[in-house]
C-alpha cells in the first residue's frame, strides 16, 4: 500500500473520530444539556477538514457534500434551501430550540455526508485502476522487449540465456 493511501486513511480516521464527537455534541444540544460554542467549533473543524480533503482529491461528490451541509436540494428543477441544515444546527444560539426534526435536518444528512467521506478511498482506487493497468501492460511489454534484445545480442551464450529466464527469489 502506498504512503499517500496510508496518510489518506489516517486523515479519514481522524475526521471520523471528530464526526463521532460532533454527533455526540449535537445530541447533547438537541436535548438541552449542552450549549454552544463547542458544537459550532468542532462542527466547523469537521466540515472544513472533510471538504478540503474531498476537494484536494477532486472527489466527484463535493457538491453533494456541500448541499447536505447547507441544506440545499433540487425540487422540480429549482434549487431550494431547507430552513434547517447541518450548518444551521452547528450555529444554533443558546436560546434557540433544537428539538425539531433532528433526524431529518441533522442526523440523516450528517450520516450521508460522513458516508461521502468514507467513499473517497474507493473512488480514488477506482480512478487509479486504468493507470495501474496501463503501467502493468507497459512494464510487461518493456520486459519482453528487453529479454528479446538480450537474446538477439547474445545468442549462444547459455549463461546469459539462463539469467534472462530465472526468476529471482
Return the minimum-mean-pLDDT range out of 29-33, 46-50, 118-122.
29-33
The answer, yes or no, to whether residue 74 has pLDDT greater than 80, is yes
Name the strand (E) or helix (H) holding 104: none
pLDDT band at 91 (very low <50, low <70, confident <90, very high): confident
**Higher-confidence position of 145 and 30:** 30
pTM for this entry:
0.71
**pLDDT the model gives residue 36:** 75
The neighbouring-strand residues paired with 79 are 74
Q: Which residues have a Cβ under 8 Å from the Cβ of 22 and sit 6 or more positions away?
A: 39, 42, 43, 46, 110
- What's the mean pLDDT when you consider all of the chain? 81
CB–CB of 151/143 below 8 Å?
no
**pLDDT the model gives residue 114:** 97
**What three-state secondary structure class fits 79?**
strand
The neighbouring-strand residues paired with 72 are 81
Return the minimum-mean-pLDDT range out of 85-89, 123-127, 138-142.
138-142
CB–CB of 121/8 below 8 Å?
yes
The answer, yes or no, to whether residue 24 has pLDDT greater than 90, is yes
89-107: b (≥16 Cβ within 10 Å) or e: bbebeeeeebeeebeebbb
CB–CB of 117/15 below 8 Å?
yes
Amino acid at each position: 500500500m502506498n504512503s499517500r493511501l496510508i496518510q489518506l486513511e489516517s486523515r479519514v480516521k481522524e475526521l471520523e473520530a471528530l464526526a463521532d464527537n460532533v454527533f455526540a455534541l449535537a445530541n447533547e444540544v438537541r436535548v438541552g444539556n449542552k450549549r454552544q460554542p463547542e458544537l459550532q467549533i468542532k462542527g466547523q473543524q469537521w466540515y472544513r477538514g472533510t471538504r478540503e480533503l474531498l476537494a484536494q482529491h477532486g472527489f466527484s461528490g463535493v457538491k453533494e457534500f456541500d448541499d447536505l451541509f447547507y441544506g440545499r436540494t433540487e425540487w422540480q428543477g429549482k434549487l431550494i434551501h431547507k430552513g434547517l441544515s447541518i450548518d444551521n444546527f452547528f450555529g444554533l444560539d443558546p436560546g434557540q430550540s433544537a428539538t425539531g426534526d433532528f433526524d431529518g435536518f441533522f442526523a440523516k444528512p450528517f450520516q450521508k455526508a460522513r458516508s461521502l467521506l468514507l467513499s473517497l478511498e474507493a473512488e480514488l482506487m477506482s480512478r487509479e485502476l486504468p493507470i495501474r493497468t496501463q503501467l502493468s501492460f507497459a512494464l510487461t511489454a518493456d520486459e519482453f522487449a528487453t529479454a528479446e534484445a538480450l537474446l538477439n545480442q547474445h545468442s549462444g551464450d547459455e549463461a546469459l540465456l539462463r539469467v534472462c529466464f530465472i526468476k529471482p527469489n
